A and B are shown apart, each in its own frame.
Chain A
Amino acid sequence: MSAADADRRLRAVEAFNTAYARVLDDGDLTVWPNFFTEEARYVVTARENWDRGLPAGLIYCEGRAMMADRAFAILNTAMYAPRYLRHFITNTWVGTQADGGAFEAGANYLLTQVLVDEPNARVHQVGRYIDVFVESEAGLQLCSRHCVYDDALIDNALILPV
C-alpha cells in the first residue's frame, strides 16, 4: 500500500471515529448499530481480560441485532440517572493490508462522564479501540470493535456503549 493510500485510509478511519463519537455523545443511539456489519462483534472488556485471552465482555454483542437490542433497552427500559458522556479519540493507526479487504486499525479513547448532580466531568474510561474495518459501497464499516479499557474499577455503571 502506498503512503498516499495509507494516509487516505487513516483519514477515513479518523472521520469514521468522529462520526461514531458524535452519535454516542450527542446523537440518536438507534443509529449506532449502523456503524457495524450485520455479523459484527462488539465487545467492551477490561485490559485484564484482553491480555489473558479471556472472552467475557462488560458488553458482548454478536451481530447488529444485539446492538439494536442494547440501544432499545437503554432508550426504553433501563433505569439510570441522567448523564452526559463524551469521547476523545486520538493516536489513530491503520494497518496497511491491501485495498478491498478487511484491515486492522485502532485508536486510544478517553470517555468522560458528567452526572447532573456533580459539578464536573470525570474520566469514566480510558482505553483503546482494536478494530477490523471493511470497505463497502456505503463506506467503512466495523466488522469488529473491541474496546479494551485500562481502568481497574468501573465507576458504578457503564450505561452507554463506548
Chain B
Amino acid sequence: MTAFSNRYQWPDAGLFEIPDWVYTDPEIYDREVERIFHGPTWNYVALEAEIPNPGDFQRSFVGPTPVVVTRDGEDEINVFLNRCGHRASEFCREQRGNAKLLICPYHQWSYDLKGNLVGVPFRRGLAGRGGLARDFDMAAHSPRRLAVTRRGGVVFASFDADAPPLESYLGPVMTAEFDATFDGRPLELHGYYRNTVPGNWKLYHENLKDPYHATLLHSFLVTFGLFVAGNRSAMLADESGLHGAIASAKRASTDHVSEEAKGEMRAFHEDFALQAPEIMEFVDEFDSEWSVTMQTIWPNLIVQREMNTLGIRQIVPRGPHEFAMHWTMFGYAGDDEAMRRHRLRQGNLMGPAGFLGMEDNEAIKFVQDGMKRSRPGHHAVALEPELEAGATDCVISEAAIRAMYRGWREIMGLAS
C-alpha cells in the first residue's frame, strides 16, 4: 500500500458505499486530472461540422485544460494546448474563427494550424542586440500537441499518444451504440447550451448509470408516459465499467404498467395530457432497438439520443465541487423543416431549462450540498445487491455505478 492509498480508505462495504472524499477532495481531483483527463483516455473536443473548412478553429477543453481544435490545409484535425510557448498565455481568445495563423496577442508569437511555433518577432533582436539565442528550439516551444481520432464526425483527443484505438477503447457494445447516432449522415448544427453544475463531475456519469432515478425524479416522463417502470430498458456498460448507456424503448400506451409499479411511482397520472403532445413523438430513424439512450463515454462525453433530440454534452470540470456542461445540439443535414422543428421542440426535454435536464442539475447540486455541509461520510449505492457491478437489465439497480468505481479505483491507484 502506498502512502496515498493509506490516506484514502474505502469503507468496508466495498463498492456498495462511496466515501465523500471521492467528490470533495482537492488532491483526489488533481490526481483525476493527471491520471484520467490527461491519461490514456479519449476526450471529446468537437464535432467536425463545427470546423468544416480548412483554417477553421475552435476553442475546447480536455478535462479542465483549454485546447484549440483546428482543421488544417491537408484536412487534418489538430488539437493542441491553448497555451503560448512563450509566457503561457491562453492565446486563442475567440470561441471560433478561420485563420492561417493563430497569433498570441501578447508578443505576437504565431502558430500554424498544426500548432507549430512559426513566428517570433525580433527573433534576431534589434540592431544586433537582444532576441533569442541562435539555437533556440522552436519545436520545443510549441504548445503541446494531443493525439487525435475521429469517428462519425466526432473528434476526440488524448494526452497519451499510446491511447488505444477508439473502437477498442469503447468496446463493441458502446461502439455500436455510438454508431447508432453517428451513422454517417452529415450533421447539422442547431446550437449550444452552456451551464455550470455545482457538483462533482462524476455525479453526472453516475446519474446516467442510475436507471432507478428516471421514474422517480423525472415526474414529467412518468406523467406523460414516456418512460415508466415496466418499459423495456437496459443499463448497458462496457467491460471497463467506465462507459455506459441508459437505454429504453418507448411504448405507445401505458396499458402495460402494472398496478404495483403505478403505486410506487408517485407521479403516475393516467389522466394528465399535454396540450402540445407532439413534443413526445418518436420518429424511428435509428438502427437501434432503443428510442432513448444516454451514452456516457469516459471521461467527458455524453451522447444524448432522447428520441429525436440529439446532443453532445461535454463535461469540463472546474475543481472537485463544480463542472461546466457544454451542450452541442444537432440534427442531420438532410432534415426537412418539419423534422428540424420537431427536434427543436423536443429539445425542451433536455438542457439546463429542460423538463428533465433541470431536475438532473438540481439533484446533483443537492448531493454535493449534502457532502459539503454534512461531513464526513459515505453514501449507499446498494441497489441490486445480487450483482456486484456491471451491465444490467434491471431498472432498480446501481450496479453500473459500482462498475464505474471499480474502474476508477484502479486508475486512481486506490484498488483495495
Chain A residues with CB under 8 Å of chain B are 44-46, 48-49, 52, 54-63, 65-66, 68-70, 73, 76-81, 117, 152-159
Q: How far is the CB of A114 from chain B (nearest CB, A)?
A: 15
Whole-angstrom distance between the alpha carbons of A105 and B196 in the complex? 31
Question: Which of the residues A46, A55, A65, A78 comes within 8 Å of B358, measured between beta carbons?
Answer: A78
Q: In the assembled complex, which residues on chain A have CB atoms less than 8 Å from the CB atom of B252? A: none
Q: How far is the CB of A70 from chain B (nearest CB, A)?
A: 7
- The answer to whether A152 and B194 have CB atoms under 8 Å apart is yes
- The answer to whether A65 and B276 have CB atoms under 8 Å apart is yes
Q: In the assembled complex, which residues on chain A have CB atoms less than 8 Å from the CB atom of B217? A: 79
- The answer to whether B345 and A58 have CB atoms under 8 Å apart is no
- The answer to whether B197 and A65 have CB atoms under 8 Å apart is no
Q: In the assembled complex, which residues on chain B have CB atoms less than 8 Å from the CB atom of A61? A: 348
User: Which residues 253-281 of B have a CB within 8 angstroms of A?
Assistant: 267, 272, 274-276, 279
Q: A59-B348, A81-B366 are in contact. Are A153 and B196 (CB under 8 A)?
A: yes
Q: How far is the CB of A94 from chain B (nearest CB, A)?
A: 28
- The answer to whether A46 and B191 have CB atoms under 8 Å apart is yes
B145 at interface by CB-CB < 8 Å: no
Would you give 29 A-B contacts (Cβ < 8 Å), ordered by A? A46-B193, A46-B194, A49-B191, A55-B344, A56-B191, A56-B329, A58-B351, A59-B353, A60-B344, A60-B345, A62-B345, A65-B276, A68-B276, A69-B274, A69-B275, A76-B272, A77-B219, A78-B220, A78-B359, A81-B362, A81-B366, A117-B369, A152-B194, A153-B324, A154-B193, A154-B352, A156-B197, A156-B365, A158-B353
- The answer to whether B341 and A62 have CB atoms under 8 Å apart is yes
Whole-angstrom distance between the alpha carbons of A76 and B219 in the complex? 9
- The answer to whether B198 and A78 have CB atoms under 8 Å apart is no
- The answer to whether B362 and A80 have CB atoms under 8 Å apart is yes
Contact with A along B365-397 (1 / 0, CB 8 A): 110010000000000000000000000000000
- The answer to whether B223 and A77 have CB atoms under 8 Å apart is yes
B411 at interface by CB-CB < 8 Å: no
Sample of 15 further A-B pairs with CB below 8 A, known A60-B345, A80-B358, A152-B194: A56-B329, A57-B347, A62-B345, A63-B276, A65-B275, A70-B355, A76-B219, A77-B219, A77-B267, A79-B217, A81-B366, A153-B194, A154-B193, A156-B365, A158-B352
- The answer to whether B195 and A153 have CB atoms under 8 Å apart is yes
B340 at interface by CB-CB < 8 Å: yes
Across chains A and B, the number of contacting residue pairs, with CB separation under 8 Å, is: 120
- The answer to whether B352 and A58 have CB atoms under 8 Å apart is yes
Q: A48-B95, A79-B219 are in contact. Are A56 and B362 (CB under 8 A)?
A: no
- The answer to whether A157 and B361 have CB atoms under 8 Å apart is yes
- The answer to whether B194 and A77 have CB atoms under 8 Å apart is no
Question: Which of the residues B195, B329, B340, B357 comes within 8 Å of A155, measured between beta carbons?
Answer: B195
B106 at interface by CB-CB < 8 Å: no
Whole-angstrom distance between the alpha carbons of A158 and B359 in the complex? 10
- The answer to whether A69 and B276 have CB atoms under 8 Å apart is yes
Q: A62-B345, A79-B363, A80-B358 are in contact. Are A156 and B192 (CB under 8 A)?
A: no
Q: In the assembled complex, which residues on chain A have CB atoms less than 8 Å from the CB atom of B219? A: 76-79
Whole-angstrom distance between the alpha carbons of A45 and B193 in the complex? 8
User: Which residues 314-358 of B have a CB within 8 angstroms of A?
Assistant: 324, 329, 340-341, 344-345, 347-348, 351-353, 355, 357-358
Q: In the assembled complex, which residues on chain A have CB atoms less than 8 Å from the CB atom of B185? A: none
Interface footprint category on B:
35 or more
Which of B95, B191, B279, B357 is most buried by chain A, counting CB atoms within 10 A of its CB? B191
Select from chain A the residue with minimum beta-carbon distance to B369. A117
Select from chain B the residue with minimum beta-carbon distance to A161. B353
- The answer to whether A56 and B355 have CB atoms under 8 Å apart is no
- The answer to whether A73 and B341 have CB atoms under 8 Å apart is no
Q: In the assembled complex, which residues on chain B have CB atoms less than 8 Å from the CB atom of A70? A: 348, 355
- The answer to whether A48 and B348 have CB atoms under 8 Å apart is no
Q: In the assembled complex, which residues on chain A have CB atoms less than 8 Å from the CB atom of B359? A: 78-80
Select from chain B the residue with minimum beta-carbon distance to A81. B362
Q: In the assembled complex, which residues on chain B have CB atoms less than 8 Å from the CB atom of A62? A: 276, 341, 345
Q: In the assembled complex, which residues on chain A have CB atoms less than 8 Å from the CB atom of B357? A: 157
Which of A48, A68, A70, A156 is most buried by chain B, counting CB atoms within 10 A of its CB? A156
B190 at interface by CB-CB < 8 Å: yes
Q: How far is the CB of B196 from chain A (nearest CB, A)?
A: 5
Select from chain B the residue with minimum beta-carbon distance to A155. B196
Q: In the assembled complex, which residues on chain A have CB atoms less than 8 Å from the CB atom of B324? A: 153
Contact with A along B182-214 (1 / 0, CB 8 A): 000000011111111110000000000000000
Whole-angstrom distance between the alpha carbons of A69 and B369 in the complex? 31
Q: In the assembled complex, which residues on chain A have CB atoms less than 8 Å from the CB atom of B95? A: 48
Q: How far is the CB of B365 from chain A (nearest CB, A)?
A: 6
Q: In the assembled complex, which residues on chain B have CB atoms less than 8 Å from the CB atom of A48? A: 95, 191-192
- The answer to whether B340 and A58 have CB atoms under 8 Å apart is no
- The answer to whether A154 and B196 have CB atoms under 8 Å apart is yes
